[in-house]
Structure 1
Amino acid sequence: MQHFETIIFVLTILICLLTVANKFNLPNPVLLVIGGLIIGFIPGMPIVSLNPEVVFLIFLPPILYNAASNTSWHDFKSEIKPISTLAIALVFFTTLAVAIFSHWMIPGFSWPLAFVLGAIVSPPDAVAATSITKGLGLNRKVITILEGESLVNDASALIALRFAIAAVGTGTFIFWKAGISFLTIVAGGIVIGGIVGYLFINVHKRILNNSIISTALTLLTPFISYLVAEHFAASGVLAVVSSGLLISWRASDIFSYQTRLRNQAVWDTLIFLLNGFIFILIGLQLPEILRDLSRFSVLELTTYGLIVSAVTIAVRILWVFAAAFSSRGKTVDKDVNTWKNVAIVAWSGGRGVVSLATALAIPLTINAQLFPLRSLILFLTFVVIFVTLVIQGLSLPLLIKMLGVKPHISSDSEERDLRLLLASSTISFIDNDFPFVLNSVCQVQIKKPHLDVTDLLSSEREEHLPATDKSAQSNLLAAQMEIRKFQRKFLSRC
């Protein structure tokens, strides 16, 4: 009963935080970090802890799957080179840099523990990248690189974490064996994710018109991918990402319009709740974490956290600029590789829920003993998330303004308008100019796909209207409502 009351309490807090986020136009991850921090210092809050393995299994697969399924495979493939550089090489370089500074700076912080911390804080977060850059008018390829990086880097970091935790337990690390294991784990995860994704695609094809079952299956997919891959000692994270990308690629073939609408609503709610639970959970554990760290002064803890944060930020900036300048003289997209866009990519490295969930998933014990300095790793992770997500994230719009980067006008709007015009004209042709008479059933059947397209594209146009154009947005909303009302009445008469 106590746990049920705690869940209701957390849900209430999350709904309140979402209300505040919408009112002040703040990205959800930023507000959740601040909310979790505030909750940690409210007297009398219950202390809640979950089994680390449960945290890892429940939270990570759906979060990563949702990010992958919302990523365009075409865009991801077109930017695979910069994505790979950031998601693999930069992650390992950041892990190494954080490990060196942590080992040198923190007394009693062994090399394996230093690499554990480095692996946890090295990957930027996909949800954070999407939430913070939304509505800033960034170049489409810049957004693709940031989101694609955040998908793949989690796998790199979590594989590095696996080896680091093993080194904590054994006290040894053999580089060449780790390299072979890394390749095997990566290849296995990609293959298994592809197989699971292919199987689910075929299942979805057979239930095309049942949106409830299709949506339920999308909720099941990430857990199946993850568990099957882990069973075969492969990367569960890469399996989830692979299956998500594959299903996203075939989404137009396997999901009806109603299913896409239902999926969007269910997954938006689920991801917000999962993100919120993680940050509220760390907030409720902060008092206990700080008690465990009583041997450190507040100044020491703050210094350690800020130095680790500075290292993660500095390494990314140096790496991104070095990689961009080294590509000069080659055939590259000059629009993406201007120094202004490079600066935006370098500054967009917010850590988020994946790092926090990974830190919470550190085992409580290892070799029948308490995991050394686990509370310190949790505290430092939270500080890095706060600095990179809140300070960097909220300063990103200011940086874009200072650089004078104008909002990128995508050709997507032109394509969307053309498709909307084509669908509307088709409906008009069926109603008024069709060469022979259709019975009512046939007419409804041939018009329905085009009505679905007009609904979908009209809603997308509403979402892409400039936020400042309130009157135009209001008028368009009212007009679309009237059009849909007419369409429903028309179909009801058929």
Structure 2
Amino acid sequence: MHPVEIFELVLVLLAVVVALHWVARRLRLPPATALLVGGGVLAFVPRLPPFAIDPSLILVLFLPPLLMDGAYFTAFGRFRRHLPGILSLAVGAVVFTTLGVGVVAHWLVPSLPWAACFALGAIVSPPDAVSARAVLQRVKIPRRLSALLEGESLLNDATGLVLFRFAVAATLSGAFDAGAAVSNFVFLALGGIIAGLAVSAMWIFVVRRLGDQTLIIMASTLMCWVAYIVGEAAHVSGVIATVVAGLVLGWYQHVIFPAQVRLRGSAFWETMVFVLEALVFILIGFSLRGVLDRVGGIEAVSNTMAVPVLGVVFTVTVTRFVWVFGVDGLLAALRSMGLKRARPLGLRQATVLSWAGMRGVVTLAVALTLPASMPGRDLMLVTAFAVIFATVVMQGTSLGWLINVVRPVDQDALAKMHLAASEAAIARAMAEAVELHAYAPDGTLIHPRLLEEYRKRSEVTTRYAEDADVFMEGVRAHFDVVLIALAAGRNELIRIHRAGLIEDEVLHELERDLDVEELRIILQRGN
């Protein structure tokens, strides 16, 4: 395709993204499902030019920012607390699924070499960070379950990619060294951690010296790609390097970023991630036609590949249930023997965790990197697409329904302070700081109104902390009137600007002040 045609196609896809998101909202479907199906339908529109995706470009363009986004917003305390469970899923479940799919694939297609069967297992084994985020952000689940799923989706890609590389090498060379595979995986993981920490240290050094808000936002945005590329260039895990950099960024942004950078950067980052996330799903569906053309069309797939493809899709789903419930049963047995640190999930949470195994961009990109000489390449490509479609459409669409039916219970103990108590503590600290600076050295009160305001705020938040529900009933009515007043002020501002009484610069400055005040009121008012 001509570069101009590619650009025009991207614009069309962005317009389709908006339309499909609107449709998904109206039909109450996960947007990922609508985008995936919509992209698949779009791929067969007559006279639409074929579109080939470079798998290397897919990984380096889409994966780093989406991994960084997940790591940035990960609750680090829960991530660290549940790290054993996360590693059980990110490493153990991926390896178990790879082995299970390999055995079933060889049973269904005996002519396919064992190593090639395990390569297929490695392609479809890691649940996807993008798919998990697209579904999880629209459902409410217990905090432990959320930590496990988010942490798994951040780390399991590294496991799947390593397994895939070794399986492909074993298929083409005919040799496999299990000891070398394990040691290489450890090297890649530790190297990725070191690379991520090194990039993070460089980011902290640079950001503290930039000074300009736009440059800080740009440097922080580039960090995801820098971490990934540095990791890959150093022949370690770029995925782990990016995740580590994202965790560090999320931890330090509270003390490094000024307030305006956080507000502006969050708005920019949210929009960018939305576009990338949406394009990933629609491009997966959009590339379906090329894969079908390569393997001989739908008829060839249904005649020669239907049974092994369905077998692999079934195995991918079942192996996750077996692993999750097996590990949970082991934890229950250990706890019954007196090991208090062993905390099983229980039937409800284990069921939801088992069903939340959507595949996506990594499965597609890895499948498309298969060498042309790889035995069973066509079968692997079709199977990868089938697993993506089945898990995103079937599991992604029904996960919310399953959560409502199962109703998993949050077993994690709450933190010692809740939101209202935290606000009261902050208000007291602010009032104490103002009181220290409200008086001149000779004891004269020089900021009486400021002192009164912060004392009043501290008293109000203390009452709010004592009984938040009762307190907010009256406060919301108060804030509603404030919002009405802000709307009246905004209308008057627009009127005097339209009448030519003020310059555009005055309009923008006053509008910004009203916007900040409105945002503050909306956040304080709550739902």
Contact 2:170 2:176 in 1 (8 A): yes
**Where does residue 263 of structure 2 map in the other structure?**
261
Cα distance in 1, alignment partners of residues 323 and 482 from structure 2: 47
How is 1:155-234 mapped onto 2 (pairs within 5 angstroms)? 155-207=158-210, 210-234=212-236
Cα distance in 1, alignment partners of residues 424 and 59 from structure 2: 46
- Which AA in structure 2 matches 1:306? L
What root-mean-square deviation, in Å, do the aligned CA atoms of Structure 1 and Structure 2 show?
3.6
Instruction: Give the 3-state SS of the residue equivalent to 1:250 in structure 2.
Output: helix
How is 1:54-65 mapped onto 2 (pairs within 5 angstroms)? 54-65=57-68
Q: Does 1:437 align with 2:440?
A: no
Which of 17, 20, 26 is 1:17 aligned to? 20
1:361-407, Cα deviation, whole Å (9 max, x unpaired):
x15xx4xx555544432321121122222211222222223324468
Contact 2:288 2:385 in 1 (8 A): no
**Where does residue 270 of structure 1 map in the other structure?**
272
**Where does residue 350 of structure 2 map in the other structure?**
342
Instruction: Give the 3-state SS of the residue equivalent to 1:48 in structure 2.
Output: coil
How is 1:409-488 mapped onto 2 (pairs within 5 angstroms)? 411=414, 415-423=418-426, 434-435=438-439, 436-438=445-447, 478=480, 481=483, 488=513
How is 1:57-456 mapped onto 2 (pairs within 5 angstroms)? 57-106=60-109, 108-207=111-210, 210-294=212-296, 296-328=300-332, 329=335, 330-332=339-341, 337-360=345-368, 362-363=369-370, 366=371, 371-405=374-408, 411=414, 415-423=418-426, 434-435=438-439, 436-438=445-447
Contact 1:40 1:284 in 2 (8 A): yes
How has the CA–CA distance of structure 1 residues 401 and 489 changed in structure 2, closer, same or farther, with 3 Å as cutoff? closer
Contact 2:203 2:223 in 1 (8 A): yes
Q: Comparing 114-123 with 258-267, which one deviates more in the overlay?
A: 258-267
Contact 2:53 2:287 in 1 (8 A): no
Larger radius of gyration: 2
Contact 2:36 2:284 in 1 (8 A): no
**Where does residue 459 of structure 1 map in the other structure?**
none
- Measured after TM superposition, the shift of residue 278 of structure 1 is 2.8
Cα distance in 2, alignment partners of residues 212 and 387 from structure 1: 42
Cα distance in 2, alignment partners of residues 232 and 132 from structure 1: 33
Contact 1:138 1:408 in 2 (8 A): no
Cα distance in 2, alignment partners of residues 314 and 255 from structure 1: 45
**Where does residue 500 of structure 2 map in the other structure?**
none
- Measured after TM superposition, the shift of residue 146 of structure 1 is 0.9
- Which AA in structure 1 matches 2:329? F
1:206-251, Cα deviation, whole Å (9 max, x unpaired):
34x6332222112211211122122221111111111111221222
- Which AA in structure 2 matches 1:357? A
Cα distance in 2, alignment partners of residues 472 and 274 from structure 1: 42
Provide structure 2 residue ranges, at least 5 long, that are not aligned to the other structure: 440-444, 462-468, 490-511, 518-527
- Measured after TM superposition, the shift of residue 91 of structure 1 is 0.6
Cα distance in 2, alignment partners of residues 394 and 214 from structure 1: 38
Cα distance in 2, alignment partners of residues 41 and 473 from structure 1: 55
How has the CA–CA distance of structure 1 residues 490 and 63 changed in structure 2, closer, same or farther, with 3 Å as cutoff? closer
Cα distance in 1, alignment partners of residues 360 and 475 from structure 2: 33
Contact 1:35 1:280 in 2 (8 A): yes
- Measured after TM superposition, the shift of residue 147 of structure 1 is 0.6
Cα distance in 2, alignment partners of residues 413 and 489 from structure 1: 36
- Measured after TM superposition, the shift of residue 280 of structure 1 is 2.7
**Where does residue 7 of structure 2 map in the other structure?**
4
Cα distance in 1, alignment partners of residues 87 and 143 from structure 2: 18
- Which AA in structure 2 matches 1:247? L
- Measured after TM superposition, the shift of residue 83 of structure 1 is 0.7
Cα distance in 1, alignment partners of residues 232 and 478 from structure 2: 49
Instruction: Give the 3-state SS of the residue equivalent to 2:287 in structure 1.
Output: helix
Cα distance in 1, alignment partners of residues 99 and 131 from structure 2: 23
TM-score normalized by structure 1?
0.82
Cα distance in 2, alignment partners of residues 392 and 140 from structure 1: 20
- Measured after TM superposition, the shift of residue 438 of structure 1 is 4.7
- Measured after TM superposition, the shift of residue 259 of structure 1 is 2.0
Give identity over the alignment, percent: 30
Q: Comparing 156-165 with 296-305, which one deviates more in the overlay?
A: 296-305
- Which AA in structure 2 matches 1:188? G
- Measured after TM superposition, the shift of residue 86 of structure 1 is 0.9
**Where does residue 502 of structure 2 map in the other structure?**
none
**Where does residue 460 of structure 1 map in the other structure?**
none
How has the CA–CA distance of structure 1 residues 78 and 18 changed in structure 2, closer, same or farther, with 3 Å as cutoff? same
- Measured after TM superposition, the shift of residue 439 of structure 1 is 11
Q: Comparing 125-134 with 345-354, which one deviates more in the overlay?
A: 125-134
- Which AA in structure 2 matches 1:348? A
- Measured after TM superposition, the shift of residue 347 of structure 1 is 1.6
**Where does residue 468 of structure 1 map in the other structure?**
none
**Where does residue 461 of structure 1 map in the other structure?**
none
How has the CA–CA distance of structure 1 residues 34 and 284 changed in structure 2, closer, same or farther, with 3 Å as cutoff? closer
- Measured after TM superposition, the shift of residue 408 of structure 1 is 8.4
- Measured after TM superposition, the shift of residue 301 of structure 1 is 3.3
TM-score normalized by structure 2?
0.77
Cα distance in 2, alignment partners of residues 374 and 282 from structure 1: 18
Cα distance in 2, alignment partners of residues 108 and 296 from structure 1: 18
Instruction: Give the 3-state SS of the residue equivalent to 2:52 in structure 1.
Output: coil
How has the CA–CA distance of structure 1 residues 215 and 333 changed in structure 2, closer, same or farther, with 3 Å as cutoff? farther
Q: Comparing 268-277 with 383-392, which one deviates more in the overlay?
A: 268-277
**Where does residue 522 of structure 2 map in the other structure?**
none
Cα distance in 2, alignment partners of residues 261 and 290 from structure 1: 45
- Which AA in structure 2 matches 1:323? V
- Which AA in structure 2 matches 1:320? V
How has the CA–CA distance of structure 1 residues 412 and 46 changed in structure 2, closer, same or farther, with 3 Å as cutoff? farther
- Paired residue total: 460
